Every structure is written in C-alpha cells, then in structure tokens.
A and B are shown apart, each in its own frame.
Chain A
Amino acid sequence: MAEASEVRPQPGQSAAALELGGLRAKKPRTLWSDALRQFRKHHLAVAGVFVLAFLTIATLVGPLIWTEDMALIDFSQSTEGVSLDHPMGTDDLGRDIFARILWGGRISLAVGVAAMAVAILLGTMIGAIAGFFGGFMDSLLMRFTDMFISLPSLPLLLLTIYLFRDTLRDKIGPNLGPFVLIVALIGVTNWMPVARLVRASFLSVKEKEFIEAASCIGATRSSIMFKHIMPNVLGPVIVAATLAVGAAIITESTLSFLGLGFPPDVPTWGQLLNTSVNFMQIAPHMVIFPALMIFLAVLSINYVGDGLRDALDPRKTTG
C-alpha cells in the first residue's frame, strides 16, 4: 500500500485513473469487515453485545468489588427488601442476593459457554465427517443424529443427572462434578442441529469448482476438509454457537429450578429461583432479580445471534 499514499494529480493522467488511485488508497474490504459493518446496523444486536459484555465483566470482577459474603447467614436480616446495604435484598437465610447473583452468573454463563463448546465440537465433527465422506458413513451418522433428535431431552437429562450426580460428586468434587455432568449432558443433547447444518453445507460446498481445483493441485483430504471447506461453513456455525449458549443457559436454569441441577449451596440463577418459590409471598424480590438476569442474558444472546445471522449471510447485500 506504499504507492497508494503517493497518489497526487499529475499532468496527463485521466480522471478515471485518479479515481482508481483513490480507491487503492482505501483499506481493502474483507468478508469480516463487511460482516461487522452489517452487524453494526442491527442496533438491538449491538445492544446485546454490550449487555453481555457488562454481565460477563460484572460476574467476573463484581465479586472482587462487592465484597459482601454470599454465604453469610444472618437471620436478623432474612427476606429483607431492596436497600443500600443489599441492592437486591436478602434471601430466606439473610444472605445478600446481589452477591449470590454475581457468583451465580459466573456459573450460569460458564455452563452456557462450555456446553455450547461441547455441542459445537460434536456437531461440527459429526456433520463434517458425514458431509465430507458421504455414502455409507453419511447415512450411518445421519441415522445416529435422527435417533438423538428423537430422544426426549428434558426427561432424559433429569434421569441421567439424578442417577449419576452423586457418583460424579464423589469422584471429581462437589462443585466440579455437577458442572462437568451438566455441561456434558447439555452438549450431548444439543449437537444435532449443528451436525445437520454442517453436513448440509459440506455437501453443497464440496461440489464447488474451487474444491475440484484444490484437489487438482494435489491438496490432501484433510487440507481440503479443514482449509478449504471449513471456512465456508463457519458462518452458520457461529450463529448456531451463539444461540446454543442461550439454550444451554435456559436448560441449566431449568434443571437447577427443578432441583436437579447444581446442589442447593451453589447459587446459579436457576437455583436462586428454586429457593425463591417458597418465599414468593413475602419476598417477591427473590424471584424478580434472578428471573431478570436469566431473561437479560438469554435475550441479549438471542439478539446477538440474530444480528450475526444477518451479518454472516452472504446472500444479503452489504452496503
């Protein structure tokens, strides 16, 4: 780009050539910068990014600033409403809800991201293998996917967690045990849409001329799969990944709400709602704040996913 900066009017140069020089001075537009530009137009999605960033930072840094002990039991302050000392009130045992929300957010968000990673990894692998190799492998893997789609996920999740929770807690630890179990289960019950998506994209991309060209110049199978096809499939996978985080957060809070997620002393947002049910009459703030957090997190994730879908769709014209 060094020559571009030297563009200046010279005698004998036509106006068109000047124009071209001006164009060259501009930074080249890439796929990602186009996507970013498109994404910025979706105001709610941008707002979603900010809310999410705020929630993440608050849950990560918050407990360092808001040093109120989330496990401090004080019956003299039980089920108190909103006050300066307790911005979100206290629960039935007099514990500060704000501190618990901050801690719980860490776990809820971590479960969401980790479960998404499991689902995306599984789904992409299975979808890529099915779409790339085709034939017998494809029909076998797709049968497998269909079978997983037919599993009733919520009852199975409840059943598996109930049966395996105690063993894992003894083996891995009281906090890590449920975390690993819940993340793995949510991942294992959510990879199917991704697998179908990736397979469909692989099937259509692998017939394109540039893949033929790549194999003509002697690219290996794995290089075709990962370097040539995969980047073309990335867009839909990113969108699916975003939405999967939201779905995983909902599933985790549903499980905790039903009392089959994290143990009662781990304050995930669903768990906070679970304890609040018995005190709704006297302490509505115990319901409102955790519900609000789940809603805010999931809503902003869904808006970000929506924005990404618009931005990464190559059929959409970018302006």
Chain B
Amino acid sequence: MGQYIIRRVITAVPTLVLISMVIFSILALAPGDPLSDLALNPSVPPEVRQRIRENLGLEDPIPVQYGKWAKSLFTGEFGYSYRTRAPVIDLIKQRLPTTLYISGLAFLVSVLIAIPIGVLSAVKQYSVFDNVATTLAFIGFSLPTFCTGLLFILLFTIRLDWFPSIYRSTVDGEGLSGLWERIRQAIMPITVLALFQAATLIRFVRASMLENVHQDYVRTARSKGLTERSVITRHALRNALIPVVTIIALSLPGVITGAVVTEQIFRVPGMGELLISSIRNNDTPVVMTITFLFSILVVFFNLVADVIYGILDPRIKYG
C-alpha cells in the first residue's frame, strides 16, 4: 500500500512539470507586453524601458525564463504583482481563506444533500420521489451557476430582500448580529455552488446504489432477516460509496474553480475574483500563480481519489 502511494506520487511529478510548461508556453507565446503601460508614458524614455525589461529578465531566451520561473515556483517564490507591487503570495494568502471557506462549505452541503437523496432515489426506484429527484437533478446540472446565481439575486435580494447580493469581507457589527450578517451574506454563494454540485452527485450516488441493491449479497443480507434499514445503510451503501468517494474527490477542484463564476456574481473577494481582475490588469505573475495553484489542486485531488479508491476497494491491485 505504502509503495503504491509513493509510486502514484512520483507519477504526479512529471504531470506537474508538464502543466507548468503548458502554462508558461501559453504566456510566452502570447502577444502583449507587461510594460506596455510604460510605453505610453512620455516620462519614461525607451532606453529606461529597455533597462527595466532586462532587469525583469524579459530579454532572456524562453527556456531560461522558464527555468527561472520553475525554480522560483518550487522554492515557493511566486514573485511580485505588476499592479500592486505586493508579493503574489501575500495576495493569495488574503484571498485563499475566503475561497476555501465558500467552496469548502458548498462542497460539504452538496455531499450532505446528494447522498441521502441519491440513496433514497435508488431504493425507491421509479417512485414519485425518485422521479422528482432525478428530474430536479437533471434541471440542476443543466442550469449553469451564473444563471442560478442571477435568478437567486432577483428572487432573494430584489424581490424578497432576504439576503444581500454583495459579499463583503469587512462586516460591521459585533457579536451575534455581526455573525448573523456574515452567515447571511455567505448563504447565497454557497447555495448556488452546492446545488450545482449536488445535482451531479445525486446522479452518481443513485447509479452506484442501483448497481448494488440488486446484487446477491444484498439479497443474502435480506434473507438473513436484517432490517431494511441495516441492509441499505450497512451493506449496500458501503459498497455503493466506493466509486462515489472517488467522484467526490475528483470534483473538488472543479468546485474551487467553479467558485470563479460564483465569486464574480456575488463579488466575493476570493481567488477567482483575484484571477479575473488580474487578467483584466495584465498582471502576469498573479495570473500564472493562480492558474498553477489550481492545477496543483487538480493533480493533488486526482492523487487523493486514486489512493482512497485503493484503500476502500480491496479488489484494486497495487500493480
């Protein structure tokens, strides 16, 4: 088992290197110049601009630039934002907790919604509940998050005035009322993300459960005289969750990148918002770092999914 994990980790390294190369070459191939603003500034003469370029290493050959970039990435040095001059790592440290808080909670909510509904739906296949649940799940994942988000704002902010449509990192108010304010503004972004995620998960849980409830070992459990509840939860569900856990781990990075859209709708000051504003500002170091961080997340959770699957399913050979 330990060996299997180590081998999987080792195979993840070339993937990361390749991804960093892809990200870097997209930027290297791209037109546009981080110093284009300076070119418009009459008080900066061309030779000064040239010297700045050399200082920044923009005149080096591409492989050298990549080497420098990769080396500093692995030493945890992400450079400075062109726009704010602050270290990129500081910007990310400011934004990351919000994103993790929103997407983490959304993720948790989606799992808590999806598993019971998916299981019930499979156990009572073709019942009214199953039909309603599968239809809603179908609608849920056909409705992109920005549509649900905007419709939520229309309904809950403009019509009913229940929740604020803008998420503020600085909430006034102390004690309970301040806490409630903080919870209140997070409800809509979390719900929007969670609903979309839950819709996809419900289908997986239901399908996986359906595969299991008709198997012989479930019939055996029933014929032993176990209660239906224990047959479902202790026998069928345990096996049905094996592929589901993998899907859950695989979909986590998707939830975090999906937050890019949600953060934009509700003006949540998170990583996604930082990414979009940095793209607009031509802030290359920030954009590259965030994109690379998202890739690391994807690779990491792929790894986690594989390892969990290996642990949960004894039929997997560690070959």
Using a CB–CB cutoff of 8 Å, the interface residues on chain A facing chain B are 146-147, 149-156, 158-160, 162-164, 166-167, 246, 250, 253-254, 257-258, 260, 270, 273, 276-277, 280-281, 284, 287-288, 291, 294-295, 298-299, 302-303, 306
Contacts and interface: CB of A to CB of B under 8 A. Distances in A.
Given A253-B146, A258-B264, A298-B144, A150 B19 contact: yes
B138 interface: yes
Contact of B26 (A146, A159, A284): A159
State which size class the interface on B falls in. Answer: 35 or more
B158 A281 contact: yes
Contact of B260 (A155, A276, A299): A155
B298 A151 contact: yes
Given A152-B294, A155-B290, A303-B138, 9 more contacts: A149-B302, A152-B253, A152-B295, A156-B26, A254-B261, A258-B276, A288-B151, A294-B144, A298-B143
6 contacts: A150-B295, A151-B19, A159-B291, A163-B31, A257-B264, A302-B141
Contacts of B280: 162
B147 A154 contact: no
A156 B21 CA distance: 13
Contacts of A291: 147, 150-151
Given A152-B257, A155-B294, A162 B158 contact: no
A277 B276 contact: no
A36 B109 CA distance: 40
Is chain A's binding surface mostly helix, strand, loop or mixed? helix
B12 to A, nearest CB: 9
Contacts of B158: 280-281, 284
A11 B318 CA distance: 72
B192 to A, nearest CB: 13
Interface of B: 15, 18-19, 22-23, 26-27, 30-32, 138-139, 141-144, 146-147, 150-151, 153-154, 158, 253, 257-258, 260-261, 264-265, 275-276, 279-280, 287, 290-291, 294-295, 297-299, 302
Q: Which of A155, A246, A257 has the most CB of B within 10 A?
A: A155
A233 B291 CA distance: 35
B138 A155 contact: no
Contact of B27 (A146, A154, A163, A250): A163
A250 to B, nearest CB: 5
Contacts of B15: 146-147, 150
Contacts, number: 118
Contacts of A250: 144
Given A147-B18, A150-B299, A253-B144, A273 B150 contact: yes
B142 A299 contact: yes
Contacts of A159: 23, 26-27, 279, 287, 291
A232 B23 CA distance: 37
B146 A155 contact: no
A155 B299 contact: no
Given A258-B261, A288-B154, A147 B19 contact: yes
B204 to A, nearest CB: 15
Contacts of B19: 147, 150-151
B261 to A, nearest CB: 6
Contacts of B275: 155, 158
Nearest to A294: B147
Given A273-B146, A287-B150, A298-B142, A155 B257 contact: yes
Nearest to A144: B18
Q: Which of B19, B31, B144, B147 has the most CB of A within 10 A?
A: B147
B138 A280 contact: no
Contacts of A146: 15
Nearest to A302: B142
